[in-house]
Amino acid sequence: AVVKYLLCVVRLQHAGRYNDDFDDGEDIAEFDDNDFAEFEDVSEDPAVDVEKEPPPRAAPSSTPIEDEEDEATVENEDGQDEFEDADAQDQDMYSKYDNEEFEGHEKTNPSFKDTLIYREVPAHLQNSWESYYMEILMVTGLLAYIMNYIIGKNKNSRLAQAWFNSHRELLESNFALVGDDGTSKEATSTGKLNQENEHIYNLWCSGRVCCEGMLIQLKFLKRQDLLNVLARMMRPVCDQVQVKVTLNDEDMDTFVFAVGSRKAMARLQKEMQDLSEFCGDKPKSGAKYGIPESLSILSEMGEVTDGVMDSKMVHYLTSHADKIESIHFSDQFSGPKVMQEEGQPLKLPETKKTLLFTFNVPGMGNTSPKDMDSLLPLMNMVIYSIDKLKKLRLNREGKQKADRNRARVEENFLKQTHAQRQEAAQTRREEKKRAEKERIMNEEDPDRQRRLEEAAQRREQKKLEKKQMKMKQIKVKAM
Amino acid sequence: MTVNNMADPRRPNKIFRYKPPNTETNPTLEDPTPDYMNLLGMIFSMCGLMLKLKWCAWIAVYCSFISFKSLKCNASGLLSISAVVMSYLQNPQPMSPPW
C-alpha cells in the first residue's frame, strides 16, 4: 500500500512535469486519484504532442525496462528515481504504445477529431413524396396527353362544324341528298357530317345533274395526338379538304388533266397511275396560261388545257392559288399506283371518271373556325367545274389522239403481263391434268379406270395432232 | 344569285347511296401507327411484368393510350395498367431513372 501511495505521488510529480512539457495550459487539479488520470490526458492530447515524444522517449525506453528488473529491491531514495524511471518507463511504454498504435497515421484519433458523416437514408425507407418524383412525372405526362386529346378533338369538331355551316346552303341548293352514311334504309339527307375518327370527317352528296355523287373529306391535323402536335412544331402541315366527284360516262369526255402547286404536281405525276401513263411530259408552268408561277399544269394534250383554262377558271385559280394543292380531272382515274408484290397485276385496274380537288385550309395548322368561310369560293369552283366539263368536248383530232393514247396504254400493259399470263395459263393446264390423273387413280372400278385412261390418252393424241397441224400451216405460210 | 336564272340542278331521281371506300384495295391509306403502338404496348407490358421493370410498364401505358384513341382496343390498355400495378405491388420502391 505504501508503495502504491509513493507511486501515485511520483506519478503526480511526473504528470506535472510532463504537463509542462506537453501543454502548459493543463491544470494539475484535473487529475483524479484515479491511476489512469494522466493516461487520459495522454490519450486526449493531440497527435502533435505525442509525435514529439517518440525521439526522446524511444531512447531511454529500453534501459529503464532492464533497470526495473535489476533494481526491484532498491530503497526508497533510490526507489524514487527508479520509480521515476519506472514511471517514466511506464509513460514511455504508454507513449510507445501510442506511437506504435498510431504510427503511419496522419491523424491519431479520427473518431474524436473528424465530423460525423451522415449516410443517406435509402429512398424506399424515406416517408416523403419527393422520392416518387419519377412516378409523379409519368402521371403528369399522362394527364397532359389526356388534356391534349380532349382539347384537340374539340377543336377539330368545331372546325368541321364551322365548315359545314358555311357550306351547307351551297350544297343543299345543288344536291338532293346532303349527308349519307350508307347505313339507313331510305336515301334521306342526314344533314350532318360523318365522323370517321377524331380528325377525319366525311360528307356524301348526291342527286345532281352532271355527276353521280360528291364525297367531301375534311382531313384535319391529328390535334388529339400529343406526339403529332410535337412533330408538327418541327414541320408545319396544313389541314386539307378533299373533294372527289364521281361522274357518269356521259358527263365527261376522255382526257386527263391536272393543275396545282409545283410540288404537288411533281409528286402526283409519280404517284398517280393515270397521270404517269397519260401525262408523260414535265409539268408546265402556269404563267403561260395566265395563272401564278407557283402553279403548274400536267395535261394529256394542249387542246385540253386550252379548253379547261377559260377566263373564269383562271380567275378562280389566280385569286385562290395559295389554297389550291391540286386539281385532277381524269376519265382513267384509278387512284395511286398499286405497289406490286410479284410483277404486274394480271388485269388493268378499274377506272372511273373522276374530278379530284385538294384544298389547303389557310392558317397552316393554327386555323380558327372563321377561316372555313374562305373555302366557300373554292366549292363554287368545284360546282362550276362539274358543269363545265359536261360541256367540254374534244374536237375530232383530239378525240383520235385520246383514243390512240388509251389503246397504247392498254397494249403496253398487255405486253408487260404477257409472260405472266402465259405462265398462269400453263399452271392452270397442269392443274387440270393433275386433277384428271388423280381422278383416274382414285377410281376403284378397274374397268372404268382403264376406260378413263384410254379417254385421256386419246385426248392427248388429238392435242398433239392439232399442234402438228398448226406447225405445218405456219411452215406453209412462211414458205 | 344566278340560281333563279338556272334550273334547279338537283335531281332526286339520280341519287346514289354512299359506299364506304374499300380499304382492302388501298392498304397504304390506312395509318399503321396505332397498330404498331398497340403491339409495342403489349410487348412492353409483358417485359414489365416478367422482368419487373417499372419503366417498361410505364412506357406500355403510354403506348396503349396512344393506340387506344384510334383503335378503341382495350386489351392492351388493361394489360399495361395491370403491368404497372403489379410492378408497384411487388416492389413499392420509387422508380429510379435508368441513367
Q: What is the dihedral of CA A397, A403, A405, A411, to 10 degrees?
A: -150
Chain A partners of B65 at a C-beta cutoff of 8 Å? 142, 145-146
Across chain B, mean pLDDT equals: 77
Q: Is A123 helix (H, G, I), strand (E, B) or coil?
A: helix
**Which one of B8, B13, B14, B65 makes the best mutation probe of the A interface by having the most chain A beta carbons within 10 Å?**
B14
Residue given cell 379547261 in the structure block: A308
Q: Chains A, B: CB contacts under 8 A, how many?
A: 89
Domain assignment present for B49: yes
pLDDT tens figures, A380-421: 999 999 999 999 999 999 999 999 999 999 998 888 888 788
The pLDDT of residue A75 is 45
- Integer Cα distance of A297 and A319 in angstroms: 17
The pLDDT of residue A479 is 77
The pLDDT of residue A38 is 57
The pLDDT of residue A437 is 87
Domain assignment present for B6: no
Residue A206 pairs in a beta bridge with A177, A213
Mean pLDDT of the A191-196 span: 90
Least-confidence region, from A168-182, A190-204, A334-348, B52-66: A334-348
Residue given cell 334504309 in the structure block: A185
* pLDDT band per the 50, 70, 90 thresholds, residue B6: low
Q: Is A255 helix (H, G, I), strand (E, B) or coil?
A: coil
Phi-psi region of A290 (alpha: psi -120 to 50; beta: other; left: phi over 0): left
* B78: containing domain: 32-93
Chain B partners of A181 at a C-beta cutoff of 8 Å? 18
Q: Is the pLDDT of residue A474 over 80?
A: yes
The pLDDT of residue A401 is 93
The pLDDT of residue A444 is 74
Domain assignment present for B25: no
Q: Which among B14, B20, B95 is the nearest to A208, CB-wise?
A: B14
Q: Is the pLDDT of residue A22 over 70?
A: no
Q: Is the pLDDT of residue A59 over 80?
A: no
**Residue B58 C-alpha, separation from nearest chain A C-alpha, in angstroms:** 7
The pLDDT of residue A304 is 92
Domain assignment present for B21: no
User: In terms of CA atoms, which chain A residue is nearest residue B2?
Assistant: A173
**Which one of A124, A130, A138, A143 makes the best mutation probe of the B interface by having the most chain B beta carbons within 10 Å?**
A138
For chain B, the domain total comes to: 1
Whether the model clears a pTM of 0.80, i.e. scores above it, the answer is: no
The pLDDT of residue A13 is 63
Mean pLDDT of the A300-316 span: 93
Across chain A, mean pLDDT equals: 80
Residue A337's CB is within 10 A of a number of other CB atoms, namely: 15
Domain assignment present for B17: no
- Integer Cα distance of A196 and A202 in angstroms: 7
- Integer Cα distance of A176 and A213 in angstroms: 10
A204:B18 CB<8 A: yes
Beta-strand pair A240-246/A200-208: unpaired
The pLDDT of residue A96 is 53
Domain assignment present for B5: no
**Beta strands in A287-373, from DSSP E residues, in sequence order:** 295-299, 324-333, 352-360
CA angle in degrees (0–180, nearest 5) for A13-A18-A20: 100
- Integer Cα distance of A327 and A322 in angstroms: 13
* pLDDT band per the 50, 70, 90 thresholds, residue A356: very high
The pLDDT of residue A29 is 46
Least-confidence region, from A68-82, A194-208, A355-369: A68-82
Using alpha carbons, select from A212, A252, A231 the residue that is nearest to residue A393: A252
- Integer Cα distance of A90 and A101 in angstroms: 16
The pLDDT of residue A54 is 45
Chain B partners of A131 at a C-beta cutoff of 8 Å? 94
Domain assignment present for B84: yes
Q: CB within 8 A of A191, min separation 6: which ones?
A: A168, A178, A179
pLDDT tens figures, A94-128: 555 555 555 555 555 555 667 888 887 775 666 67
Judge contact between A264 and A224, C-beta under 8 A: no
Interface residues of A toward B, Cβ cutoff 8 Å, are 123-124, 131-135, 138, 141-142, 145-146, 149, 173-177, 180-182, 187, 197-198, 204, 206-210, 212-213, 215, 224-225, 227, 335-336, 338-339, 387
The pLDDT of residue B24 is 47
Which residue did the predictor score with more confidence, A78 or A434?
Answer: A434
Q: Which among A135, A198, A208 is the nearest to B11, CB-wise?
A: A208
The pLDDT of residue A95 is 53
Chain B partners of A198 at a C-beta cutoff of 8 Å? 69-70
Mean pLDDT of the A325-353 span: 82
Q: Is the pLDDT of residue A55 over 50?
A: no
The pLDDT of residue A123 is 59
- Integer Cα distance of A456 and A59 in angstroms: 128
B94:A123 CB<8 A: yes
Q: Which among A134, A208, A215 is the nearest to B9, CB-wise?
A: A208
Residue A278's CB is within 10 A of a number of other CB atoms, namely: 24
Q: Is the pLDDT of residue A447 over 60?
A: yes
The 3-state secondary structure of A373-408 reads HHHHHHHHHHHHHHHHHHHCCCCHHHHHHHHHHHHH
**Residue B55 C-alpha, separation from nearest chain A C-alpha, in angstroms:** 9
User: Which of A240-254, A443-457, B15-29 has the highest mean predicted lDDT (pLDDT)?
Assistant: A240-254
Least-confidence region, from A116-125, A237-246, A354-363, B46-55: A116-125
Residue given cell 406526339 in the structure block: A227
Q: Which among B13, B28, B94 is the nearest to A131, CB-wise?
A: B94
**Residue B39 C-alpha, separation from nearest chain A C-alpha, in angstroms:** 17
* pLDDT band per the 50, 70, 90 thresholds, residue A300: very high
pLDDT tens figures, A206-230: 999 989 999 999 999 999 888 889 9
Please state, for a pLDDT cut of 90, what percent of chain A lies above it.
45
Supply A272's cell numbers.
398517280
The 3-state secondary structure of chain B reads CCCCCCCCCECHHHCCCCCCCCCCCCHHHCCCHHHHHHHHHHHHHHHHHHHCCHHHHHHHHHHHHHHHHHHCCHHHHHHHHHHHHHHHHHCCCCCCCCC
Mean pLDDT of the A192-197 span: 90
What is the b/e burial string over A49-62, where b = at least 16 CB atoms within 10 angstroms of the residue's CB?
bbeebbeebeeebe
Domain assignment present for B23: no
**Which one of A135, A192, A203, A352 makes the best mutation probe of the B interface by having the most chain B beta carbons within 10 Å?**
A135
